[in-house]
């Protein structure tokens, strides 16, 4: 495994454990050259899933895109990255269990919103504002009203 700090190829595994969802192995590694530590995840390769975008183009499902969007939505919220990784794992598992090998980007966004709603309301609104492309205050207030009712 290549060190992300110095690009040395000699690293050693310091610790390995299953993630909470039991679908991947988390490994703490240490670089033999610079001594810095980093984490890697080993997952079972699943069937390839294509995401159908609004313009009908298709791109491969990328869990990191979802994770980075969640991290942005959760800035300055008391939510750790491990929790967000579990949320993405849950979404990925649900998508993999669906029949077929494609998912509409709207469906994917709704899966994320559904889980965020139960996790943190502020993060939910932040994510929804980008995902639903809010461009005026009325859209924010309408979404807040819907959130209060649920």
Distance CA 42, CA 96 (A): 17
pLDDT in tens, 37-94: 999 988 777 678 999 999 999 999 999 999 999 999 999 999 999 899 999 989 998 9
Report the C-alpha dihedral over residues 104, 108, 110, 112, rounded to 10 degrees: -170
Supply the pTM of this predicted model. 0.68
């Amino acid at each position: 495994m290549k060190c992300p700090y110095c690009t040395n190829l000699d690293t050693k595994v310091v610790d390995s454990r299953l993630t909470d969802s039991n679908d991947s192995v988390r490994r703490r590694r240490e670089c033999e050259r610079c001594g810095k530590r980093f984490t890697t995840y080993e997952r079972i390769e699943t069937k390839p899933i294509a995401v159908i975008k609004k313009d009908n183009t298709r791109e491969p499902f990328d869990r990191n895109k979802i994770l980075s969007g969640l991290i942005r939505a959760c800035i300055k919220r008391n939510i750790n990255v491990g929790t967000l990784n579990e949320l993405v794992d849950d979404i990925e598992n649900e998508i993999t269990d669906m029949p077929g090998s494609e998912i509409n980007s709207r469906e994917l966004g709704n899966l994320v919103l559904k889980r965020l709603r139960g996790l943190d309301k502020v993060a939910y609104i932040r994510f929804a504002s980008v995902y639903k492309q809010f461009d005026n205050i009325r859209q924010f207030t309408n979404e807040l009203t819907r959130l209060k009712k649920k």
